[in-house]
Amino acid sequence: MTAGTYCDRCGEPLEGGSHAACAAARELEPPRFCPQCRRRMKVQVLPAGWSAACVEHGVLSR
């Protein structure tokens, strides 16, 4: 997961919960929520990876 306050898969706060299932799922899929502000990101899956954009915090990619 990317460092932040929220889980980038489920959008819930990182503190106070187990996100082991989210971490396992993130091995195969792109993030869905911005880890800094919890907004839903625009995700594009490409043959060579993925790109996810938050309107507030910019683009993450792999």
- pLDDT for 1 equals 41
Mark residue 60 as left, alpha or beta (left: phi above 0; alpha: psi -120 to 50; beta: remaining): beta
Encode pLDDT of 10-29 as tens digits: 999 999 889 999 999 999 99
Looking at residue 60, what is its pLDDT?
Answer: 83
Q: In the chain, what are the domain boundaries? A: 1-62
Taking the C-alpha atoms of residue 40 and residue 37, their distance in angstroms, rounded to an integer, is: 9
User: How confident is the model at residue 36, as a pLDDT?
Assistant: 94
Looking at residue 17, its pLDDT comes to 83
45-55 per-position pLDDT tens digit:
999 999 999 99
pLDDT digits (tens, 9 = 90+) for 32-42: 999 999 999 99
- The answer to whether the beta carbons of residues 5 and 30 sit under 8 Å apart is no
